[in-house]
Structure 1
Amino acid sequence: MTPSQIELVQDSFAKVAPISDQAATIFYDRLFEVAPQVRAMFPDDLTEQRKKLMATLAVVVNGLTNLPAILPAASALAKRHVGYGAKPEHYPVVGSALLWTLEKGLGDAWTDDVAQAWTAAYGTLSGYMISEAYGKAQAAE
């Protein structure tokens, strides 16, 4: 990721943060719409899950300027997700739902540059998480 991409991700997330609960609701609605099979991995009441999602995103987004500092937490998160039933093929679906959510939440502020920046950020983190949880061969697929 370039410094300008990091800035775009951080600036755009700052615009979504004030509507974090609504954004998290949109995200999970979209995720379960496109991948209903993952619904069973989540509690019936998503209140706490939505808070965890937005808190985790905030840590990651704020940590993009010092990626090595957030990688241990990303590794631990990835390994925990294995226990929940997450598989490598779920990561692109989650990424798609996240980008869709950001597009809806940002409206006109969702530009091609912002989309590319978020795609790069998600690709970097998800690739790392997959390699940590499932091995380097899975991350390359």
Structure 2
Amino acid sequence: MKNSKILIIKNSWFHIVNNTENAGEYFYEVLFELDPTLKPMFKTNTEEQSKKLVTMLSYVISKLNALDEIMPQIQGLAQRHSKYGVNAEHYQVVGQALIQMLEYKLEKQWNEEIKDAWLEVYTILSSAMIRSASEVSNV
């Protein structure tokens, strides 16, 4: 990823974390609207799950300049998710929910440049997760 895109992602995420409320909860609202069949996969309440999501995103975003360093953690996350029933098709819905949440929370700041940067990083991460999960299921 180019440094300019990493900066866009970091700045937009910083804005969301520091200037909006309930980004994680809004993400899950959108996710379950897009695909209600996903809701039973989540055993914890939405508030707790939302905190986990925001924490994980914050961590990943802080490491965008060194994605190779955290790739084992990303792969481990994918393997855990596959045990919960997550499959490759679910990543598209999650990506759609993420983009909708970002657009809603960033409001007037949202633009194509921000969207492109987030889509790029999500594609990198979700592709790695799908590959990792498929390797485990093929073993």
Q: Which AA in structure 1 matches 2:5?
A: Q
1:108 corresponds in structure 2 to 108
Aligned amino acid, residue 38 of structure 1: L
Q: Which moved more, 1:84-93 or 1:38-47?
A: 38-47
Residue type matched to 2:102 in 1?
Answer: L
Task: Answer whether contact 2:30 2:97 (CA < 8 A) is retained.
Answer: yes
> 1-side partners of 2:62 and 2:32: how far apart?
27
> Tell me, what secondary structure is at the counterpart of 1:89?
helix
Number of the residue aligned with 1:29? 29
Deviation at 1:46, TM superposition (A): 1.6
SS at match of 1:86: coil
Contact 1:21 1:51 in 2 (8 A): no
TM-score by length of 1: 0.92
Computed over aligned residues only, the root mean square deviation of the Cα atoms, in angstroms, reads 1.2
How many Å apart are 1:111 and its aligned residue? 1.0
Query: Which runs of 4 or more aligned residues in structure 1 lie more than 4 Å from their structure 2 counterparts after TM superposition?
Result: none
The alignment status of 1:38 with 2:38, answered yes or no, reads: yes
Name the counterpart of 1:139: none
Are the aligned partners of 2:23 and 2:105 in contact in 1 as well (CA < 8 Å)? yes
What is the aligned length? 135
Specify every segment of 5 or more residues in structure 1 that has no aligned partner in the other structure, as ranges: 136-141
Which residue number in structure 2 is paired with residue 130 of structure 1? 130
Mapping for residues 1-141 of structure 1, pairs under 5 Å: 1-18=1-18, 22-43=22-43, 45-135=45-135
1:19 CA drift (Å): 5.3
- The CA deviation at 1:20 is 6.4
Structure 2: where are the runs of 5+ without partners? none
The alignment's TM-score, normalised by the length of structure 2, stands at: 0.93
Aligned 8 A contact 1:78 1:132 in 2: yes
